Amino acid sequence: MNLIAAVDQNWAIGSKGKLLVSIPADMKWFRQETTGKVVVMGRKTLDSFPGGQPLPRRTNIVLTGQEDFSRNGVTVCHSVEELLELLKSFEDDRIYVIGGGTVYRQLLPYCSVAHITKIDHSYQADTYFPNLDEDPEWRITEDSDEQTYFDLVYRFLKYERR
């Protein structure tokens, strides 16, 4: 299973239910990576999308403890165990965990690849991703050249579980 996230220098991913920054090349890369695939997210991540609608041209799965939650165009799971059982029907490399913070922490142990956009900036944030640089189980296997968007410098990194 894959996960995909954009993080700042402190591995922050969000503030008040929103992304820290929107970088067009990162959004394009996210679309290219996930279109036609399975995306797994929490309810708050789904709610942060325009109109709270699922992402087009993807199989959208929401992991939530909210028992009465339903939304057109998404499959809902209420536990990690239920989710893992459902995901058995998909190819592992076609599954992308896309957030938020709680879902990343819950599913990181089941992921073997992490696609990380690392932004060379520190934001005010309230949601963080586990720091893979400090986790001996993970190593960087691909590193892009530095990219810039106005005054922001960022890189696309691929981490793989050892």
Residue 89: the pLDDT is 98
Residue 127: the pLDDT is 97
Residue 43: the pLDDT is 97
Q: What is the mean pLDDT of residues 35-58?
A: 97
In order of their start, the domains of the chain are: 2-153 (3.40.430.10)
Residue 111: the pLDDT is 98
| DSSP-H helix ranges across 38-149 | 43-48, 80-87, 101-107
The closest alpha carbon to 72, from 53, 99, 59, 48, belongs to 53
Mean pLDDT of the chain: 97
Rounded-to-integer distance, Cα 6 and Cα 87, Å: 24
Residue 104: the pLDDT is 98
| pLDDT single digits (tens) 54-88 | 999 999 999 999 999 999 999 999 999 999 999 99
| pLDDT single digits (tens) 78-127 | 999 999 999 999 999 999 999 999 999 999 999 999 999 999 999 999 99
Q: Which residue has the tokens 């309810």?
A: 43
Rounded-to-integer distance, Cα 85 and Cα 89, Å: 8
Question: Two tokens at 99?
Answer: 């957030």
